[in-house]
A and B are shown apart, each in its own frame.
Chain A
């Protein structure tokens, strides 16, 4: 027995040491989650407009162009349930909050971060926001969030290739979608439309997810109502190759718009801004068919700011 235990310990000791070293190395690399948590802890009380949501708002809404203190708390693939958890997490700090922007994209009502392929991102919420959604121990480790080859890539890029750009502004806006890097709009339109709507919404799984998302959205609206905060439901602009793609399920689009409209009608503190097929956005505004680049983000942010000021007559001076 003693021999067995000694041999096992000797065998796994190097593995544990290397794993701990990698974990530490990864934790020391600045990241968007850590940055946003720090910002909210330090400046949460100054924030007047909070932008939630997925990559659509993370890259598409730049707080710099708002008249009041705005912060972008969006992250790629972030879903409504996580939006609500974040709101609850920082509710004691957000005492100056006046408006919340919640994006309702085509995939929003049928997506759930913890259940999808992007589920590994839940580790970041557990590690940096202390939001745990499962009893899995893997949520406590950076190295277990993603495949080892990606961990190594991150370490090499940061420590050996000097790539230290956080890809996020101080106010939480994603900075990596530059106009010069824009992708093929036709190809990305078809791909994204398929990725976002290629599932059976009448299956039990998706009916459950829809119900849970409606509940999360309702929680956000009710929380806002109790705290005297306005909610703007926002459907982000999408390029025509996405909107008109045969891969886009029109039923899901209709449900998305109808649900948002219904929320706005039922709740006095809620309004709905649908820019899905807005002709103000042209090809040059897009990074790909469903994400805005720098230029598009500026255009949308100014428009959203004007909408909020006009809709709620907020004193921003």
Chain B
């Protein structure tokens, strides 16, 4: 089920009412309801893949319990690897099988060997990369004795399948989310109102910004040979807004929805396009994934300690794996490697933790220095997005070659250029609102709170109106495919 559909708009109030009015006296029943609702939410897309979630849940629940009583290290390791192999095995099969097969065949063909193997018609289960990582965090933390395993299967199943963040994150850490299923939840009016505001802002970013930009992105990227460099620049700028509106919009709706049920999910985006360097960008973009890789891959590899070569290896490892997580395509690997190249000088010069505060804190305008560093970081990010959006490396390099041709200095020209101008204007408006709320958890958190009620409601209705005006065709979220 997609958040931006009438199906979800019907599903959410029904679950909300059952949760707070029917099963509100019993925590176990509340958790059970969340499991049923989450399985329904997922099964709405394709019920067959519920078996995968259930199997992963059963394996990790059992592994967790066995780890609690097991003191022998070899057995503990065996249990941990069972969980890792099962979870990553599913992920590898559904997401990467054809990629590896195709590349093996190509490699052997290159050396003159003919291999005959046919790829499989595999449907990628929605959200598999997200819930796999979430459930892995549980077994790893139990193995490290950072977390007591739960004995209650319903609680654990609710943690794995919690519908607001099941299919596109934030990827929650078991240490943060699981304990929330043990505690009695009470309805908090201000949190619920905040949740609604966050949902509203998320829908705005998805429907008004991302989906509108998507039209021009698809148009320009699919026929890039026909357009001038300036048009291609506009195309990748549109994609920059699309990917942000789409994914941060999803995260906002997920976090807001969880709040309605008394849960607090981790923040996933912290205004990344206002970053002053790439290290700051990665602290602000898809936070739940980058911290997952930091905690479960980068630090176990040695992190930024050790020799210079080890630091370089670890940096490339985390960025390339992160890129590959997004999809079985060389474009994502190059995108990850490119970000590693951006990041490396900062780390080697120990400048990667320089910008930890909010940009232009206490001021409206940034300083010239801040502005320049922000624009440079934004430019580097925009360039990297070309690889992320391209369908193949050839497509990406072709796009770049045409982008940096002499036609870069020309007036962009493509069908629907006039309407595209308004979409660009809307994207700028979104950035302005985000800039105004950059010291908050989400842009709309404090905006309008001091205004007169009528003005505040007028703002909400304008947002709702724009959502309806631009809505109508339900576009899938980009991160569903990951």
What distance in Å separates the Cβ of B199 from its nearest Cβ neighbour in chain A?
11
Name the B residues within 8 Å of A266 (CB-CB).
none
Name the B residues within 8 Å of A120 (CB-CB).
472-473
Closest residue to A143 on the B side, CB-wise?
Answer: B472
Taking a contact as CB atoms closer than 8 A, the residue among B7, B20, B222, B472 that contacts A147 in the complex is: B472
Asked if A11 CB lies within 8 Å of chain B CBs, one says yes
Q: Contact check, B121 vs A148: say whether CB atoms are below 8 A apart.
A: no
Asked if A17 CB lies within 8 Å of chain B CBs, one says no
Interface residues of B, dominant DSSP: helix
Name the A residues within 8 Å of B222 (CB-CB).
198
A135 and B41 alpha carbons, distance in the complex (Å): 12
A4 and B17 alpha carbons, distance in the complex (Å): 12
Name the B residues within 8 Å of A11 (CB-CB).
457, 460
Asked if B111 CB lies within 8 Å of chain A CBs, one says no
Closest residue to B187 on the A side, CB-wise?
Answer: A1
Asked if B474 CB lies within 8 Å of chain A CBs, one says yes
Taking a contact as CB atoms closer than 8 A, the residue among A1, A7, A8, A144 that contacts B472 in the complex is: A144
Q: How many residues of B contact A (CB 8 A)?
A: 24
Asked if B88 CB lies within 8 Å of chain A CBs, one says no
Closest residue to A135 on the B side, CB-wise?
Answer: B44
Given contacts A11-B460, A144-B6, whether A1 and B471 have CB atoms under 8 Å apart is no
Asked if B470 CB lies within 8 Å of chain A CBs, one says yes
Q: Contact check, A204 vs B472: say whether CB atoms are below 8 A apart.
A: no
A145 and B471 alpha carbons, distance in the complex (Å): 10
Q: Contact check, A4 vs B192: say whether CB atoms are below 8 A apart.
A: yes
Name the B residues within 8 Å of A15 (CB-CB).
464, 468
Given contacts A137-B6, A208-B121, whether A4 and B472 have CB atoms under 8 Å apart is no
Name the B residues within 8 Å of A198 (CB-CB).
222
Name the A residues within 8 Å of B426 (CB-CB).
none
Q: Contact check, B193 vs A146: say whether CB atoms are below 8 A apart.
A: no
Q: Contact check, A147 vs B6: say whether CB atoms are below 8 A apart.
A: no
Q: Contact check, A146 vs B472: say whether CB atoms are below 8 A apart.
A: yes
Q: Interface code A166-190, partner B: CB below 8 Å = 1, 0 otherwise?
A: 0000000000000000000000000
A149 and B212 alpha carbons, distance in the complex (Å): 13
Q: Contact check, A4 vs B6: say whether CB atoms are below 8 A apart.
A: no
Asked if B329 CB lies within 8 Å of chain A CBs, one says no
What distance in Å separates the Cβ of A152 from its nearest Cβ neighbour in chain B?
9
Residue pairs across A and B with CB atoms within 8 Å: the count is 57
A309 and B433 alpha carbons, distance in the complex (Å): 68
Given contacts A1-B187, A4-B192, whether A138 and B474 have CB atoms under 8 Å apart is yes
Q: Contact check, B189 vs A141: say whether CB atoms are below 8 A apart.
A: no
What distance in Å separates the Cβ of A16 from its nearest Cβ neighbour in chain B?
10
Q: How many residues of A contact B (CB 8 A)?
A: 27
Asked if B113 CB lies within 8 Å of chain A CBs, one says no
Taking a contact as CB atoms closer than 8 A, the residue among A1, A143, A147 that contacts B470 in the complex is: A147
Q: Contact check, A138 vs B7: say whether CB atoms are below 8 A apart.
A: yes
A8 and B472 alpha carbons, distance in the complex (Å): 22
Closest residue to B44 on the A side, CB-wise?
Answer: A135
Q: Interface code A200-215, partner B: CB below 8 Å = 1, 0 otherwise?
A: 0000100010000000
Q: Contact check, B5 vs A138: say whether CB atoms are below 8 A apart.
A: yes
Name the B residues within 8 Å of A208 (CB-CB).
121
Closest residue to B457 on the A side, CB-wise?
Answer: A11
Asked if A150 CB lies within 8 Å of chain B CBs, one says yes
Asked if B469 CB lies within 8 Å of chain A CBs, one says yes
A137 and B9 alpha carbons, distance in the complex (Å): 10
Q: Contact check, B470 vs A136: say whether CB atoms are below 8 A apart.
A: no
What distance in Å separates the Cβ of A292 from its nearest Cβ neighbour in chain B?
25
Q: Contact check, A147 vs B121: say whether CB atoms are below 8 A apart.
A: no
What distance in Å separates the Cβ of B119 from its nearest Cβ neighbour in chain A?
8
Q: Interface code A16-60, partner B: CB below 8 Å = 1, 0 otherwise?
A: 000100000000000000000000000000000000000000000
Q: Contact check, A204 vs B121: say whether CB atoms are below 8 A apart.
A: yes
Q: Contact check, B44 vs A141: say whether CB atoms are below 8 A apart.
A: no
Q: Contact check, A148 vs B472: say whether CB atoms are below 8 A apart.
A: yes
Asked if B390 CB lies within 8 Å of chain A CBs, one says no
A151 and B468 alpha carbons, distance in the complex (Å): 11
Given contacts A147-B471, A150-B472, A208-B121, whether A4 and B7 have CB atoms under 8 Å apart is no
Asked if A3 CB lies within 8 Å of chain B CBs, one says yes
What distance in Å separates the Cβ of B331 from its nearest Cβ neighbour in chain A?
16
Asked if B103 CB lies within 8 Å of chain A CBs, one says no
Q: Contact check, A137 vs B196: say whether CB atoms are below 8 A apart.
A: no
Q: Contact check, A1 vs B20: say whether CB atoms are below 8 A apart.
A: yes
Interface residues of A (CB under 8 A from B): 1, 3-4, 7-8, 11, 15, 19, 119-120, 135-138, 141, 143-151, 198, 204, 208
User: Given known contacts A1-B189, A15-B464, A137-B5, what 18 new A-B pairs fall within 8 Å (CB)?
Assistant: A3-B189, A7-B193, A11-B457, A120-B472, A135-B44, A136-B6, A137-B10, A138-B7, A141-B6, A144-B472, A146-B472, A147-B469, A147-B471, A147-B472, A148-B469, A148-B470, A148-B471, A148-B472
Question: 13 A-B residue contacts at CB 8 Å?
Answer: A4-B187, A7-B193, A120-B473, A137-B6, A138-B5, A138-B7, A144-B6, A145-B472, A146-B472, A146-B473, A149-B469, A149-B470, A151-B472
